[in-house]
A and B are shown apart, each in its own frame.
Chain A
Amino acid sequence: MSVKATHERSHEIPPKASIKLGPTLDEEVFGAAFSGQVVSRFIKYVAAYKVLLWVAIISVLVFTASSIAIPLIVRDIFDSALSADTLSSSKLTTMMVVFLTAVGFNFVSNYLQELIVGRVAERILIDMRRAMYTHLQVISLSFMDRTEIGKLMARLQGDVAALQEFLQTAVFAIGDFVLLVGIIGAMIYLDWRLGLMTLAVVPVLFIIRIIWLPYARQAFLRARVTSSIVSGALAENINGIRAVQGMSREYVNYDLFDIRATDNLRAANRASKIGVIMLPIVDTLTGSAMAIIVIVGGFFVLGGSIEVGVMVAFILFVQRFFDPIRSLTMHYNVLQRAMASGERIFEVIDVPVDIKDKPDAIELDEIDGSIKFEDVTFGYLPDQPILKNINFEVKPGETVALVGPTGSGKTSTTALVHRFYDIWDGSVKVGGHDVRDVTQQSLGKHVSMVLQEPFLFSGTVYENIRYAKDDTTREDVVAAAQAVGAHEFIMKLPNGYETELEQRGGNLSLGQRQLISFARAIVADAKILVLDEATASIDSYTEMLIQQALVRLMEGRTGMVIAHRLATIRGADRIIVLQDGEIIEMGNHDELMEMGGLYSRLYSMNYASFDDIPDELIAEATKAAEGTST
């Protein structure tokens, strides 16, 4: 293979690369094969399709019954129409009609069971996925911060499919069970002595199964876990392909991937071995059962105690007898897998929504656009406050700038205005209302944001700028694009506003993406506009043009602006200087410059080159910044 020619696999695991990705074994095992809780919750989703499922179950039963009936009818044909003493063609005709009727039932019920079970299972798959997805839309961001998207996607896809499979097998398992009981009943009914003798092999099978099961369970589990590890590694590599190629990690990654894939190959292979072992065992038992029937049954026939048709029916039954047993134990596997998947799905659905509307939450219609932080303390992790005792107020129509070294908590402050997170202490008020007292939906309509990371969706440029605001006219979109200086380059794209963007806007430059996300915020037409380094990747000249346009756009709106380029925020009505999560200075540009604090130092460094700045100033600024950014 070409791969091997270009690169020798070393299979040595580098110390600083992890080999485990995706779920661990413990995560998969998740207790028993049966969890009443999972099943009872799953049943709630199933309940919506009660009627259909009953039809399906009835179909399964009819199908099973007709499957049992058909060999019986064949026996009857032999015994009553074709046995040596009662050869009769009229009897044959009658029996044929019966046979064909059974075939008809068999056909219709087979069709119905496949169709209904299949479709209901698809529906439930979608329902469960939707339930999880809906929940993910309201789950608090702190949960999303902690959770890998790949894992959530695995739950939205793989785990949901496992439950779908479970539903399908569950319905068919009913059929298998009935079939088993039916066959046993039929055998006992036909001849109880022969029946019992034939059934003697069943306990043997069960004992073998019980010994076999733990091994099989382990093996299948390992195969599954290693397979998700492989998937995780693949996904990671695809997502980070630029970093991989840029840093020449291909060979190392290939080796690591090979280790994981080989692991999976071995595990799958072992699972196969353990799986196929059952085949000769079952066939040996079938063979024994048939031998018993031939000898004992044959002797009975010779002795005249049973009809030959009984023997024929027995042989036919025995061949079908092990199928349900086999699939019932197979279902065990599906069941166990479904339980683990179910636990994982309900785990997501059960994540409490920390941030939810109060029952009496107010629908904010009109607001004045004021923002007020009172003694706000907040952090992402317990005991690690990021913002401490933040107090400030923004009057309607004012623009306030947040500055400070990196990591000082600027982005976190703006996140609180939108109630992305709940604060530990104090209060955040928007338009005079505590953000916890209003509905999030209406709050969202009044606050629009340009996030530090410009995220665009696949779709056209137009769709991206308009985004969720369906009632926007094309003029509004173009006007917003013009305001941020994006119109010109959009018109140069192959299809203008209708140009399809690649994933995350990959066919645009970062600055262009930022402009589009800026335009999107403007189209949202909210009272409060938050700009988190909205122009960080844009040159000062373009930025100046935007700011000119903003002057008009910001009329009557409240602004919260974050920027590192201090020239950007010079003219803000008020500048808040954050350091280490605390407000250390506040005032307008001139006041702060006069104060000679961190702001004035940052400001002077911003435009000067460092050898123009006296050493002690760097040292001071460095010290000042030390507490926060480093």
Chain B
Amino acid sequence: MALQYRWRLFFGLIAIFLASGFQLAIPILIGSAVDAARSLDESTVEIVNPAVVGLIDSTVDIFGEGSNPARTALIIIAIYLFIASVGRGLSAMFQNYMGEAIGQHIGYELRMLYYEKLQRLSFSYHAGVHTGDLITRGIIDVEGVRMFVQTALLRTVFLMVLIGTGMYLMLSEDLVLGLISLSFVPFVAWHATAARLKLRSNWYQLQEKLSALTKVMDENLGGIRVVRAFASQDYEMKKFDDASNETLRLANVQVGIRATNISLMGVAFMVAMAAVLWVGGLKVIDGTLTPGELTQFIAFMSILLQPVRQIGMMVNGYARGSATGVRLFQVLDLEPEIQDKPSAKDLELTNGILEFHDVKFGYEGENTLEGISFKVEPGHTVGIVGPPGSGKSTIAHLVPRFYDPIEGHITIDGQDLRDVTLDSLRKAVGVVEQDTFLFTASVAHNVAYGDPWAPDDRVESATHYAQLGDYIERLPGGYDTTIGERGVSLSGGQRQRLSIARSILLRPKLIVFDDSTAAIDAATEQRIRAALTDLTTDRATIIISHRLSSLMHADEILFIDHGKIIERGTHEELLALGGHYNDLYELQIRPSENYSIGSDGELS
């Protein structure tokens, strides 16, 4: 980890040793205070601990000769007790602060790493995971790891030092009593390990179930119109209850483990204390131990009480930390499928000619595209048609290198897409996606999404090109109107036009319209196209559409079926061919009464 942690960790560790030192000094001083107070004869102080006697001796001259030694000793002990407490407080402050600071920095770094990783992971990854799951990992799991580092890491060292020194002191003071008082340690250690393992798998499962619940809730809210349209609230509530009861069950198990854990650790300690009292008490009765020594012993043990309690909590922290850490690193360890080669150069745009050379591609082993070859030059347009699922959008996704072809290659001005930097490529290529996603932000921010430095006039002109400007300007808030997630407060066609505006604002050298006018009426579409003509004169355009009137002026039209180009040529050539394209054309231009809704009849 970075250098900045080293010194923090260093100071943290120093603070730990100081804190444990002070912490342990306190019971010694208390024990001596009891001894001093018990001095029957006020002129002779019987303090057992030689270290304390030394301390008193070195300080005693301040009070001058002739003062009452017992009282002097008490005052001196009180002063040291005060100093030790302040010292303990200060070092605890440092130690906690360092722990938290390290935790926060690691949390920050993890967040940034996670964010950066997500941004680089390719479409193929994102298509396969649920956004709710990714969000949970980024928020809750990062938090889990942070909490773990913050509270558990340094504190573990602290507790270890404390327990270790405590053990040493007790054992060296009285071996038998020491052993008895520590008899609970093996039990606690064993139990803590067992509980940690149980908790860990429980946390992991719980986190997964929480993700599932998030998914249910998120989809319900996102698809609220479907839920309403099908009056399926009962069904949805059942889904929710199922998911939610799963989490409840696991959470209950967890609470159970925790409760057992905490109470057992407590009782183990108390029983050991009882044994110490019993054996020590008998020793006092025998006269082999002073009550002061026994008090000191009990005080030592009470120092251990807090750590032992905390072990119970830390076991949970460890379990949670490792469970969430696993989930987080599952993502952080991924290598993006699509990334710049080490030798990648920026794309050099000379003409802006896009070429597909015998491209083959499949999503999961299947052949989605095969033998796709075509070329688009600046000022030219390639049109693509085909039935649903034939692979049109897939072609569009290959151009900005959202995916890599399995075979064949794609070039722009002769440079293989895999040899250029993604950033330069995606700046040169604009894809108007079939499925519009808008951000919860103002219209202006949405239009300027690809270039947030764009001045107002560019935003406005792009919006006007997309034939949306007049509508936006009539809104009470104009370009500052906030549009909702996925643009719910816009109509379908308005949403598509906004997404067109967003892409043309970037003036890419190569632009792909993926069925981006499906929800726009023909008149508006033609106005968009007319407005765009002066923009598209020097750039290559690919238009995917089901509406043939949008394509008929393309320089080449590709008819795709099952991932293959089965017909190609200009509108006229394809009509002359009399194949699928011609059929489509006939259907659109001269729909016979026969195949329309609401009437009966057969298709000839």
Given contact pairs A254-B115, A509-B393, A568-B597, A609 touches B552 in the complex (Cβ within 8 A) = yes
| Known contacts A107-B266, A149-B222, A406-B494: A399-B598 contact under CB 8 Å | yes
A234 touches B139 (CB 8 A): yes
Query: Taking the complex as formed, is B111 at the interface, i.e. its CB lies under 8 A from any CB of chain A?
Result: yes
CB contacts (< 8 Å) of A626 on chain B: these are 470
Within 8 A of A (CB), among B240-297: 240-241, 244-245, 247-248, 251-252, 255-256, 258-260, 262-264, 266-267, 270-271, 274, 277-278, 281-282, 284-285, 291, 294-295
**A149 to B240, alpha carbons, bound, how many Å?**
16
- Taking the closest CB of chain B, its distance from the CB of A534, in whole angstroms, is 10
Complex CA gap A470/B90 in Å reads 65
Within 8 A of B (CB), among A557-590: 559, 561, 564-573
**Does A472 make an interface contact (CB < 8 A)?**
no
Q: Is the CB of A152 within 8 A of B221?
A: yes
Interface range, A side:
35 or more
Which of A78, A239, A447 lies at the interface centre, i.e. has the most chain B CB atoms within 10 A of its CB? A239
From 440 to 497 in chain A, residues with beta carbon under 8 angstroms from any chain B beta carbon are 440-445, 447-449, 451-453, 455, 457-458, 467-468, 470, 489, 494
Contact partners of B427 in chain A: CB under 8 A: 248
User: Across the two chains, which residue of chain B brings its CB closest to A570?
Assistant: B596
Which of B78, B387, B470, B523 is in CB contact (< 8 Å) with A290? B78
B378 in the interface, Cβ–Cβ < 8 Å?
A: no
Q: Chain B residues with Cβ under 8 A from A241's Cβ?
A: 118-119, 126
In this assembly, does A134 line the interface, its C-beta being within 8 Å of a C-beta of chain B?
Answer: yes
Instruction: Verify if B601 is at the interface (C-beta below 8 Å from A).
Output: yes
Evaluate contact between B229 and A567: CB separation under 8 angstroms.
no
- Determine the residue in chain A with the shortest Cβ distance to B267: A107
Q: List, in ascending order, chain A residues with CB within 8 A of B583's CB.
A: 541
The answer to whether B521 and A283 touch across the interface, beta carbons within 8 angstroms, is no
B127 A418 Cβ-Cβ under 8 A? no
In the complex, whether A333 has a CB less than 8 A from a CB of chain B is no
* With A145-B489, A541-B580 as contacts: A308 and B37 at CB distance below 8 Å: yes
Closest approach, in angstroms, between the C-beta of B494 and any C-beta of chain A? 5
Q: How far apart sit A572 and B111, CA to CA, in the bound complex (Å)?
A: 56
B34 vs chain A, min Cβ distance (A): 6
Q: With A265-B104, A418-B229 given, is the CB distance from A511 to B387 under 8 Å?
A: yes
Determine the interface band of chain B, counting residues with CB < 8 A from chain A: 35 or more
Most buried by A among B234, B526, B547: B526
Q: Which residue of A lies closest to B215 (CB)?
A: A458
| Interface pair B426/A247, CB less than 8 Å apart | yes
Interface status of A295 (Cβ within 8 A of chain B): yes
* A448-B78 contact in complex given A107-B263, A238-B138, A533-B518, C-beta closer than 8 Å: no
Nearest chain A CB to B383's CB is how many angstroms away? 12
Q: Are A269 and B101 in contact (CB under 8 A)?
A: yes
Q: Is the interface of A mostly helix, strand, loop or mixed?
A: helix
Q: Find out whether the CB atom of A287 lies under 8 angstroms from the CB atom of B523.
A: no
Quick one: which of B120, B431, B553 contacts A246, CB cutoff 8 A? Answer: B431
Does B359 sit within 8 A of A, measured CB to CB?
Answer: no
A residues 64-121 near B (Cβ < 8 Å) are: 70, 74, 77-78, 81-84, 87-89, 92, 96, 99-100, 103, 106-108, 110-112, 114-115, 118-119
**CB distance A315 to B225 under 8 Å?**
no
The verdict on B564 contacting chain A, using a C-beta distance below 8 Å, is no
Answer yes or no: A279 CB below 8 A from chain B CBs.
yes
List, in ascending order, chain A residues with CB within 8 A of B229's CB: 418, 444, 447-449, 451
Which residues between 604 and 624 of chain A lie within 8 Å of chain B, taking CB atoms? Answer: 605-610, 618, 621-622, 624
Asked if A137 lies at the interface with its beta carbon under 8 angstroms from chain B, I say yes
A contact residues around B329 at 8 Å (CB): none
**Which residues from chain B contact A308 at a C-beta distance below 8 Å?**
34, 37-38, 291
B506 to chain A: closest residue by CB: A247
The CA of A454 and the CA of B295, in the complex, are separated in Å by: 75
Question: Smallest CB-CB separation from B598: which chain A residue?
Answer: A399
Nearest A-chain residue to B298, judged by Cβ: A74
Known: A148-B484, A301-B38, A308-B291. A407 touches B491 (CB 8 A): yes
User: Does A540 lie within 8 Å of B584, measured CB to CB?
Assistant: yes
Asked if B62 is at the interface (CB within 8 A of a chain A CB), the reply is no
Pairwise interchain contact B492-A544, C-beta atoms closer than 8 A:
no
Please give the distance in Å from B223's CB to the nearest CB on chain A: 4
The answer for the CA separation of A188 and B199 in the assembled complex, in Å, is: 43
Which residues of A have CB within 8 Å of B530? 610, 618
- Known contacts A70-B270, A281-B89: A77-B281 contact under CB 8 Å: yes
Nearest CB in chain A: distance from B86 CB, A? 5
B226 lies within 8 A of A133 (CB): no
In the complex the two chains form, is A299's CB within 8 Å of B255's CB? Answer: no
**CB of B437 within 8 Å of the partner chain:** yes
Least CB separation from B275: chain A residue: A96
**Which of these, B74, B233, B489, contacts A299 with CB under 8 Å?**
B74
Could you name 12 residue pairs across A and B whose Cβ atoms are closer than 8 Å?
A114-B258, A242-B126, A246-B426, A290-B85, A298-B77, A302-B74, A315-B299, A407-B494, A509-B389, A539-B385, A561-B597, A564-B519
Give me 17 other A-B pairs in contact (C-beta within 8 A), A283-B92, A502-B130 excluded. A18-B441, A78-B294, A84-B291, A130-B241, A234-B135, A243-B437, A280-B86, A308-B37, A311-B34, A406-B491, A406-B494, A411-B492, A444-B231, A509-B393, A539-B584, A625-B521, A629-B467
The 7 closest A-B pairs by CB, nearest first: A444-B231, A571-B596, A511-B388, A406-B493, A287-B85, A283-B89, A468-B232
